[in-house]
Amino acid sequence: MGVSSCGKSSIGAAVARQLEAKFIDGDDLHPKANILKMKSGHPLNDDDRAPWLERINDAVFSIEMKHEEGIIVCSALRQKYRDQIRQGNSKLTFIHLYGDFELVKGRMLAREDHFMPIELLKSQFETLEKPTIEETDVIEVSIDGSFDDVVARCVTAIKQHQTA
């Protein structure tokens, strides 16, 4: 989880490869209307997010029911979004990839293949509700550092969480 351009998709895919887990990019679960809305420079509202969060919840449920391991990347910026994903899913852990605005902005400007314009990054930071200590299923991982360093931190954090 995290704001746009924090590395969710690329880091998530690399972590999934290392852990031999299924990988699903949450961006692929957005309804067409959401993609078109973001592409036109408009932020999503809670009504827009509802079917998307339901699709993510269903994907988590499917993975859990098949006794598989998976990495699903999505923003999950508010606690209520994370709570919706948690509903009916007991074996779920979030990794919050975080970095400051300038770091993430620099990474966003370097991207060529994403539908979210830079103008919406500020709204993502404004929407973000950082996980609280009560959200014991959230692991915080800084994106400051090289790609390989961040992937290694994620893999280590997941393995430590699984054995705890």
DSSP letter for each residue of 78-102: SHHHHHHHHTT-SS--EEEEE--HH
Buried b (16+ CB within 10 A) or exposed e, 144-160: eeeeeebbebbeebbee
pLDDT at site 114: 55
pTM given for the model: 0.90
Domain boundaries along the sequence of the chain: 8-163
pLDDT in tens, 94-137: 999 999 999 998 888 877 665 556 777 888 899 999 999 999 99
Give the span between the Cα atoms of 122 and 48, in whole angstroms: 19
- Report the candidate in 80, 74, 124 with the shortest Cα–Cα distance to residue 96: 74
pLDDT, the chain, mean:
92
Instruction: Give the pLDDT score at 4.
Output: 87
- pLDDT of the residue at 144: 96
pLDDT in tens, 63-106: 999 999 999 999 999 999 999 999 999 899 999 999 999 999 88
DSSP-H helix ranges across the chain: 8-19, 32-39, 46-65, 79-86, 101-109, 119-127, 147-163
- pLDDT at res. 8: 95
Q: 140 forms bridges with which residues in the sheet?
A: 96
Backbone angles phi, psi at 64, to 5 degrees: -65, -40
The pLDDT value recorded for residue 116 is 59
* CATH (residue range 8-163): 3.40.50.300
Residue 63: φ, ψ to 5° = -60, -45
